């Protein structure tokens, strides 16, 4: 029998998250790899989901999403960013941000089109672009003055006549960087100069630290009409298993994405949609407290990683800390993370798997701090074995 998997997907096997999470279970290690919290979201929002199930919201919701959630998303965009979106024609509910990105790429890119993304990038981006038979063009984020950033000239050089879109993830997973206004402006100028679409993954929009501001690309002059703005409830409300996301964009772009999305999942999760609508309207103070608590956990983990001998880069957002492993005498993050359960009883993620150019990230390893304090403390205590 010939290889059953289509050629364009053969480079994508089991995800690194599945591999490392399975390794954590097999070895009884602490899992600081996959980015999911070990505490629940706001109790009143969780109760709303239970109430919705009890009230019979258990059949197909409308394909574009429950109107109550679309209205709540619209209100949220206007209140937080001054971005009015019509809930009927400019908001689409998706099965998490991952589906939103995939549907956007599939809807907007023809075979052979190019999509620029900043490496290291979330692994689903490459898979979505491959499914569309488009080409990912990677622009590398490199450490500078304690944070990851890109070279504007390198970004400009990546644009060709085949470029269709720039995929912008800020706050950025896996580096934890939050793009500045100057960085976003450089991207926006290219989009307008070359008539490109910006697909923006903003799932960590409320999880920024040290007073750093998240600036949506769509707020920049001339960008609302060419931006597909994506976010979700999973990170904002610590309900990653609910897989409830949304797209905000002008009607023509929403119609395009919806045309594809309806044949991926059609619709999903009516009770969660109703609960998230409640959360967006009533639980943003809880979200602010979550961000404050995550900042403390970030600092706790950074201090422990530094004491264990890692060189640590300070993230301005997300769940993740990037470390340079070379001060410990290691040079290959994939090799180290596969040995880490044996060496220290901890699981992390090798950052190099998120690069088109793995050699540029071989010495970085990512740790998640969205865990209980006692879990972080125990992980840090174990990691100190490395320095010995």
Residue 52 has a pLDDT of 98
Axis crossing angle, helix 373-387 with helix 284-308, rounded to the nearest 10: 20
The answer on pLDDT for 1 being more than 80 is: no
pLDDT given at position 13: 82
Q: What is the mean pLDDT of residues 218-233?
A: 98
Partners of residue 31 on adjacent β-strands: 347
Res 154 pLDDT > 80: yes
Which pair of tokens denotes residue 356? 């088109």
Q: Residue 189's pLDDT band (boundaries 50, 70, 90)?
A: very high
pLDDT at 136 over 90: yes
The pLDDT value given to residue 193: 98
As given in the structure block, the two tokens for residue 193 are 């100069």
**pLDDT number for residue 39:** 94
Residue 160 reports pLDDT greater than 80: yes
Q: Looking at residues 173-202, what average pLDDT do you find? A: 98
Residue 227 in this model has a pLDDT that exceeds 80: yes
pLDDT of residue 238: 98
**Which of the four pLDDT bands, split at 50, 70 and 90, describes residue 15?**
confident
Q: What is the average per-residue pLDDT within 198-208?
A: 98
Give how far Cα 176 sits from Cα of 149, 210, 318, Å: 11, 13, 5
Average pLDDT over the chain reads: 96
Predicted confidence (pLDDT) per residue in 91-101, tens digit = 999 999 999 99
pLDDT band at 214 (very low <50, low <70, confident <90, very high): very high
Q: pLDDT band at 16, cuts 50/70/90?
A: confident
Q: What is the pLDDT of residue 355?
A: 97
Min mean pLDDT across 10-14, 145-149, 246-250, 364-368 is at 10-14
Identify the pLDDT of residue 17: 86
Instruction: Kindly indicate the confidence band of residue 3, based on its pLDDT and cuts at 50, 70 and 90.
Output: confident
Q: What are phi and psi of 308, to 5 degrees?
A: -80, -10
Share of the chain above pLDDT 90, in %: 94
Separation of alpha carbons 199 and 186, rounded Å: 15
The answer, yes or no, to whether residue 388 has pLDDT greater than 80, is no
Rounded Cα distance, 315 and 351, in Å: 14
Residue 97: strand, helix, or coil: helix
Q: Is the pLDDT of residue 386 over 90?
A: no
Instruction: Determine contact, residues 248/80, Cβ cutoff 8 Å.
Output: no
Mean pLDDT of the region 208-232: 98
The number of beta carbons lying within 10 Å of the beta carbon of residue 105 is 28
CB 165 within 8 A of CB 198: yes
pLDDT tens string 39-88? 999 999 999 999 999 999 999 999 999 999 999 999 999 999 999 999 99
Give percent of the chain above pLDDT 70.
100
Task: With a cut of 90, say whether residue 267 has pLDDT above it.
Answer: yes
- Angle, helices 96-108 vs 123-131, to 10°: value is 30
Q: Say whether 92 sits in a helix, a strand or coil.
A: strand
pLDDT digits 0-9 by tens, 305-341 = 999 999 999 999 999 999 999 999 999 999 999 999 9
Omega before 120 within 30 of 0, i.e. cis: yes
**What number is the average pLDDT over the span 194-200?**
98
């Amino acid at each position: 029998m010939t290889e059953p998997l289509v050629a364009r997907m053969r480079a994508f096997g089991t995800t690194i998250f599945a591999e490392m999470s399975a390794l954590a279970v097999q070895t009884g290690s602490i899992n600081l790899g996959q980015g999911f919290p070990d505490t629940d979201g706001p109790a009143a929002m969780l109760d709303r989901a239970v109430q919705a199930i009890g009230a019979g919201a258990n059949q197909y919701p409308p394909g574009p999403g429950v109107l109550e959630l679309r209205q709540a998303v619209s209100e949220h965009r206007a209140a937080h960013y001054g971005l009015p979106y019509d809930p009927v024609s400019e908001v689409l509910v998706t099965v998490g941000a991952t589906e939103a990105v995939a549907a956007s790429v599939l809807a907007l890119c023809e075979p052979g089109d190019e999509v620029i993304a900043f490496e290291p990038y979330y692994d689903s981006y490459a898979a979505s672009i491959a499914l569309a038979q488009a080409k990912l063009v990677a622009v590398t984020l490199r450490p500078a003055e304690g944070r990851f950033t890109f070279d504007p000239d390198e970004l400009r050089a990546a644009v060709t006549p085949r470029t269709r879109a720039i995929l912008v993830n800020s706050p950025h997973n896996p580096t934890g960087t939050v793009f500045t206004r100057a960085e976003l402006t450089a991207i926006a100028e290219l989009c307008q100069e070359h008539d490109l679409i910006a697909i923006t993954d903003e799932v960590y929009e409320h999880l920024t630290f040290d007073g750093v501001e998240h600036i949506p690309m769509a707020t920049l002059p001339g960008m609302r009409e060419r931006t597909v703005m994506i976010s979700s409830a999973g990170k904002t409300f610590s309900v990653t298993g609910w897989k409830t996301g949304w797209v905000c964009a002008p009607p023509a772009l929403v119609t395009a994405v919806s045309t594809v999305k309806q044949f991926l999942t059609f619709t999903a999760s009516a009770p969660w949609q109703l609960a998230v609508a409640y959360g967006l309207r009533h639980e943003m103070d809880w979200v602010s407290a979550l961000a404050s608590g995550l900042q403390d956990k970030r600092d706790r983990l950074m201090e422990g990683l530094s004491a264990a001998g890692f060189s640590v880069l300070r993230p301005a957002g997300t769940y993740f800390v990037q470390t340079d492993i070379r001060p410990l005498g290691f040079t290959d993050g994939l090799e180290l993370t596969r040995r880490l359960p044996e060496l220290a009883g901890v699981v992390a993620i090798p950052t190099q798997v998120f690069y088109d150019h793995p050699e540029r990230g071989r010495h970085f390893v990512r740790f998640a701090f969205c865990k209980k304090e006692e879990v972080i403390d125990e992980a840090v205590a174990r990691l100190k074995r490395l320095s010995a």
